[in-house]
Amino acid sequence: MISAWASRLIEAQAVLPKAAEGEVVVSSSPDGIFAHNIAAGAHLLRADEPVDIPGGHDSGPAPYDFLLSGLGACTAMTLRIYAARKNWPLDDVSVTLRHEKRHNQDSDNSDNPSAKLDYIERDISLSGALDEAQIARLLEIADKCPVHKSLEAGVVVHTAYKPAIAD
């Protein structure tokens, strides 16, 4: 019985991706079509789709959840660093985000009913003895977090084929 348990553990370890520092590796999981294992440096994560999507098992956040998580974490970290540098009494930051696709009425494709624009709503809650001017400045600083700036500027993704290494 112990050997059966150990063999499952060893098999699971074999499918986990490995990533160098500053690298993210995503690999398929045997747990379903959408389930994927993610290595971000030394950290292991899991992605999946919710159960309301056929084939999803909700064993991890969905891809857009990771996008929102990156923006939310970067926003909170940026605000905490800024407040600390200014010696402002910021005790806690909470960032709540939502994503949806909206018809892109302002684009060159506005006559195309399928043209969609990614829309992110970000609500920021701050606690601490901050005055109105400090709160207003922190909300301005939120738009200067590196992930926010990358998303607004647009991102170039270069894709290349790399053959798998046979075991």
Q: What are phi and psi of 66, to 5 degrees?
A: -65, -40
Give residue 8's pLDDT. Answer: 47
Global pTM value: 0.82
Taking the mean position of all CA atoms in its chain, how far away is CA 160? Answer: 22
Which region among 46-55, 112-121, 142-151, 154-163 has the lowest average model confidence (pLDDT)? Answer: 112-121
pLDDT in tens, 102-139: 876 655 555 666 677 889 999 999 999 999 999 999 99
Among 46, 73, 85, 86, CA closest to 142: 73
Domains and CATH numbers, the chain: 2-47 (no CATH), 63-153 (3.30.300.20)
Among 101, 100, 83, CA closest to 92: 83
At 15, list the tokens. 């499918």
The C-alpha atoms of residue 61 and residue 77 are separated, in whole angstroms, by: 21
Give residue 166's pLDDT. Answer: 73
pLDDT in tens, 13-65: 555 778 888 999 999 998 889 999 999 999 999 999 999 999 999 999 999 99
- Which residue is listed with tokens 């910021």? 90
Arithmetic mean of pLDDT over the chain: 88
Cβ atoms 146, 74 nearer than 8 A: yes
Q: Is 46 helix (H, G, I), strand (E, B) or coil?
A: strand
- Which residue is listed with tokens 């540098």? 85
Give residue 104's pLDDT. Answer: 66
Q: What angle is formed at CA 63 by the lines to CA 99 and CA 96, rounded to 5 degrees?
A: 40
- Which residue is listed with tokens 């301005």? 140
Percent of the chain with pLDDT over 90: 70
pLDDT in tens, 33-46: 999 999 999 999 99
pLDDT in tens, 74-109: 999 999 999 999 999 999 999 999 999 887 665 555
85 to 35, 65, 75: CA distances (angstroms): 41, 30, 16
| DSSP assignment letter at 49 | -
The C-alpha atoms of residue 8 and residue 14 are separated, in whole angstroms, by: 10
Give residue 95's pLDDT. Answer: 98
Question: Residue 98: enclosing H or E segment and its boundaries?
Answer: strand 92-103
